[in-house]
Amino acid sequence: MRRIRQLAVSILLIITLTVGMTGTVPVGTVRAAAGPVAGHGALRVSGTDLKDSHGRKFQLKGVSTHGIAWFPQYVNKAAFKTLRDRYGINTIRLAMYTNKSEGYGPAVEKKVQEGVKYATQLGMYVIIDWHVLSEGNPNKHKAQAKRFFAKMAKKYKKHKNVIYEICNEPNGNVTWEKQIKPYAKTIVKQIRRYDKKAVIVVGTPTWSQDVDVVANSPLKAKNIMYALHFYAGTHKEWNQQKLKTAYKKGLPVIVTEFSISDASGNGALDKSSGNKWMRLLNRYNISYTSWSLCNKNESSALIKSSCNKTSGWTAKDLSPAGKWYFNKTKK
Ligand code: IDC
């Protein structure tokens, strides 16, 4: 009898230990180390939605760097980890300006690859942003873009977490039909030579505002999303209407850049306009990444200008825009 009781106690002990080891603690640890990509896998576009590998609707909640030539110090693993673990961020957008005068060259291309490496190690999604801005017309650097995206697609074709954004904000005297669509066709074809499935984000006319125009003649390719950018202090109902029109026409839209500052990246914050935008994005399951991860003395910067930390930020290190945004993303 005593033997049996002893045996029962031992079995119970073994069960408890086994459950303890293989159950909650270690699995939780592994999951935390592996990050969102481990749970959601490769993403794809389905109708207006971004979906994960289980076919469930998925939303990127991200942070965009400022130009990585100016603020390379924020492209570090500890920074991305802080954003992931403390603020619920699942995506990093690496903004690489495309003019030599804005730092474009081999050093920033290397920085992009460094950023992709950290994001991958942390199981985060990462957007490689070809940051067309002052040149207006994306065709101006089309040859470089072709070369760059071929290189990236070859390198990252097996990655589940890499997203390509091929022209940040076309602007000036360019239209969807004449300049942007032909450019997009060329670059998409180039990426697809190596990477058949990765999500590709295409910029839209007027600093990536005219998604309603693009909705009338989107590209025929698969896994494409179209960028809508807004700065809530400047862009309000009129721009939201463009989004509503595009969405109702079935265009898959992604907000790869936004802030609650004005369109200059500075000025007063408009939280109430920002809140309206966020409600709309969540209602439509639209992904977003906020401009920008830096401590520049401008109101869209997410870090206080007096804070020089490049990771490990707590609430007191965040700017008012940072506090507003991370309050929404953190779990
Ligand atoms: C801004 C930066 C600012 C920089 C300027 C020019 O916040 O520090 O001096 O670019 O390089 C965009 C652009 C984005 C802009 C941002 C704010 O994609 O590069 O960043 N903005 O003006 N589109 C609309 C607003």
Query: How far, in Å, from the CA of 136 to the mean position of ligand 1?
Result: 13
| pLDDT at 20 (0 to 100) | 39
| pLDDT at 331 (0 to 100) | 79
| pLDDT at 1 (0 to 100) | 52
3 state SS of 62 = strand
Q: What is the mean pLDDT of residues 156-169?
A: 98
Q: What is the mean pLDDT of residues 128-151?
A: 98
Reported as a pLDDT band with limits 50, 70 and 90, residue 3 is low
DSSP 244-310: HHHHHTT--EEEEEEESS-TTS-S---HHHHHHHHHHHHHTT--EEEEEES--SSTT-SB-TT---S
276 pocket-lining for ligand 1 (C-beta < 6 Å): no
39 closest CA partner among 138, 158, 168, 160: 160
| pLDDT at 323 (0 to 100) | 98
Q: What is the mean pLDDT of residues 30-39?
A: 77
- pLDDT above 70 for 10: no
Structure tokens of 116? Answer: 């992709």
What DSSP state is assigned to residue 94? E
Reported as a pLDDT band with limits 50, 70 and 90, residue 56 is very high
133 pocket-lining for ligand 1 (C-beta < 6 Å): yes
Catalytic residue among 165, 177, 237, 257: 257
Q: Based on the residue annotation, tell me whether 109 is a catalytic residue of this protein.
A: no
210 pocket-lining for ligand 1 (C-beta < 6 Å): no
Cβ-contact 222, 186 below 8 angstroms: no
The pLDDT tens digits for 79-120 are: 999 999 999 999 999 999 999 999 999 999 999 999 999 999
Alpha carbon distance 122, 216 (integer Å)? 38
CA angle centred on 292, ends 228 and 296, rounded to 5°: 140
Which of 31-40, 244-253, 315-324 bottoms out in mean pLDDT, i.e. has the lowest? 31-40
Query: How far, in Å, from the CA of 134 to the mean position of ligand 1?
Result: 10
Structure tokens of 265? Answer: 């990246």
Q: Which atom of ligand 1 is nearest to the CA of 261?
A: 17
Catalytic residue among 169, 177, 237, 298: 169
The pLDDT tens digits for 271-298 are: 999 999 999 999 999 999 999 999 999 9
Reported as a pLDDT band with limits 50, 70 and 90, residue 61 is very high
- pLDDT above 50 for 76: yes
- Mean predicted lDDT score pLDDT of the chain: 93
Cβ-contact 250, 277 below 8 angstroms: no
| pLDDT at 29 (0 to 100) | 42
How many Å is the Cα radius of gyration of the chain?
A: 22
- pLDDT above 50 for 24: no
| pLDDT at 15 (0 to 100) | 45
- pLDDT above 90 for 67: yes
